[in-house]
Amino acid sequence: MDMTQAIILTIMTAATPLLLAAIGELVVERSGVLNLGVEGMMIMGAVAAFAVAQITGSAGLGAISGLIAGLLFSLLFGFLTLTLVANQVATGLALTILGLGLSGMIGEAFIGLPGLKLAAIEIPALSQIPFIGPILFKQDPIFYVSILAVIGVNWFLFKSRAGLRLRAIGDNHSSAHALGVKVVRTRYLAVMFGGACAGLAGAHLSLVYTPQWVENMTAGRGWIALALVVFASWRPTRVLAGAYLFGAVSIGQLHAQALGLGIPSQFLSALPYLATIAVLIIISLNRRMTLINTPASLGKSFVPER
């Protein structure tokens, strides 16, 4: 029982940053914007969170700083792609490269320092329930934010007028503009939300998952989050399931190494990325379903004057 509980807890911890980054990117893509800079925003959130936590002695302030760092980076992406109408794919890739380089420079002074761990929130009485209590009611604040984000985004997209407008922009920005919807403003807000989620996901890595700073510690999780959005067919509840599936794969390879199964460690380390490739191949086999669910204006720039 204790082993099962420990495995579930580690899966939840591994899945949380993936879930946060993916749910933020889902909103961005639903608005018709393709931001490939998730990895860059995550790593900037991770280094900002760790640095501020070290300087202030507060992991909570570190988490907030990680969120702000991701948001500011997303504003740079928004300015380039929405205001200056730069190519979204190229800009996103440049943002990732910039984030990886800049975070390495900022984090150099913090390498090897012991980290501050974000304390768990223990809900009275409920956290004492055998087995379930520690799993659901004794978690770090970012875990609860990720679950609330899924619920909130699902309600926003399919139950609110603002969500309907956002989806309309993603499906046909020209028609939405003709109906009086503020396309650029809405997309800016979506991009900012995605950046904040990615930054908070990075903060989770450096304050909860492994409370330390290591260069390139996101290790491709931003790219996995992008794949998760496609895997989930742009549905928030499916993102939740996919994130925990990938979290289980990530943790499974660590337990396999600990058990000494004789499988090469390099192969086990590559499992999460092999799973990502496998999922994308499976999705590509059903092109009709992919085309139905993909926002029609995804990746297309919007210029009202043209």
Domain segments of the chain as ranges:
15-117+139-293
* CATH T-level fold of 15-117+139-293: ABC transporter involved in vitamin B12 uptake, BtuC (1.10.3470)
Contact partners, residue 304, CB within 8 Å, separation at least 6:
177, 183, 184
What are the Cα distances from residue 87, in Å, to 115, 177, 191? Answer: 38, 20, 15
Q: Which residues does the chain have with pLDDT short of 70?
A: 1, 254-263, 265-266, 268, 286, 289-291, 305-306
Model pTM above 0.85: yes
pLDDT at 49: 97
**According to the model, what pLDDT value does residue 285 have?**
74
Measuring CA to CA, which residue among 263, 226, 224, 264 is closest to residue 246?
224
- Confidence at residue 54, expressed as pLDDT on a 0 to 100 scale: 95
Contact 213, 115 (CB under 8 A): yes
- CA angle centred on 68, ends 67 and 69, rounded to 5°: 90
Output the pLDDT for position 74.
Answer: 97
